[in-house]
Chain A
Amino acid sequence: MSATIVVGTRKGLFLIEADHAREAFRLGEPLLPGWEIHHACIDPRDGTLFAATNSWVHGGQLHRSSDRGATWERAEGLGLPEESGLKLGATWHVKPGLADEPGVVWLGAEPACLFRSDDGGATFAPVLSLLDHPTRERWHPGAGGLICHSVTLDPDDPARLYVGISAAGVFRSDDGGGSWEPANAGTAADFLPDDPYPVVGQCVHKVRVHPARPERLWQQNHCGVYRSDDRAASWERLDGNGLPSDFGFGLALDPGDPDVAYVIPEEGAGNRVTSGGRLGVYKTADAGATWELSANGLPEPAWSVVLREAMGFDAHGVAFGTQSGFVYARTHDGPWRETARHLPPVLSVSLSTWP
């Protein structure tokens, strides 16, 4: 199936059209010049193109386009209540609602806040239950700030959703965002020497629900790779099963096979480049029991940086981008292919098909 690779960069947004075999790629002209695109995606419900746009002068915003990027509108009402004493920082992750939730759009942002839109992203309101969470005083910013960077939905239950916050951990809501429970049992926070397994304070880097088996979640954390098979009630650590490092950011899945996941290990928090002098993607096909290097078609040697949002997937394949401006893609069974080079630093990659 053909696809569009949506690439957010530090200097605008790029769309790469991929053919059916994911062998031929066509790079479009830059969109949204002047904006840093922390994340962008196509809404599978109606083809709206969303971009979490940021400017160090003009703040965190959300743009949307209904004509594949030709024209854009900016969301209204993005901001935090004055009584919170907080101001909105960067916007980090946009997540369209489920197919049977027309108009619902979620937006994760800094400082550890979540917004909901019920009108397709025209206006947003902050989710106060997360803003006022009783454990908030124990949340601390990671290197990217105190950011809500993952919003992932249970496809079978519109009331259940999860957020990932650095460094606070994973939180699950079973009532549509009305309340949130920490969901970090078994995940480590080795940087907290007094309590390496706290209730909150973990530095989750990316968390995703498996779309075909929603009780299963995968997580790339500052301290390990994890899988949960009980809706994040508990987590099993998997990086000791053959990964060169416990540290990384990107996480991709195969919607057709819940046992498949992809990660890109980095040397560690103190040296955030890909492990072993190679751009190595590691794939598991047995739910994390073993991991296999998947580097066919990738350059070597390489000391690359792949950021948390810079790896996307669909039913047919995976794509990721580097801080050095290269974007690679593969089918779930094929070799990696370079799709674009010399882009600005890549901040996000998502794979979508226009509806």
Chain B
Amino acid sequence: MAVVRLQSLLAQEAGTRRIEVDAATLGEALRRLPVAGLVLDEHGAVRPLVNVFVDGEREHDLAAPLAQSSVVLLVAAVAGG
């Protein structure tokens, strides 16, 4: 199963920094997260300030396939204040 790694507020809300997800695509994986509503907006798009990386590469395509060994990293944009 693919692994989704969470940081900061996402990890706080999920209660964990690591979730295993059985999903064929990136979109499936994100929609199955317990914090899906924090990652995706109500129309299913990735929120503009959530950065998604798959196996170390920035990924914008929710249809992108995931391998069993894939690691998805969700990183919130950072700013001061």
Contact = CB atoms under 8 A, between A and B. Distances in A.
Contact of B47 (A35, A58, A74, A78): A58
Nearest to A56: B49
Interface of A: 33-35, 55-59, 61, 74, 76, 78-80, 82, 87-88
Interface of B: 8-10, 12-13, 37-39, 41-43, 47, 49-50, 76-77
B43 A82 contact: yes
Contact of A34 (B12, B41, B42, B50): B12
A58 B38 contact: yes
B9 A55 contact: yes
Contacts of A56: 49
Interface of A is mostly: loop
Nearest to A32: B12
Contacts of A74: 13, 37-38
A58 B50 contact: yes
A58 B76 contact: yes
Contacts of B38: 55, 58-59, 61, 74
B77 A57 contact: yes
Contacts of B10: 58
B42 A87 contact: yes
Contacts of B77: 57
A90 to B, nearest CB: 13
Contacts of B47: 57-59
A88 B43 CA distance: 10
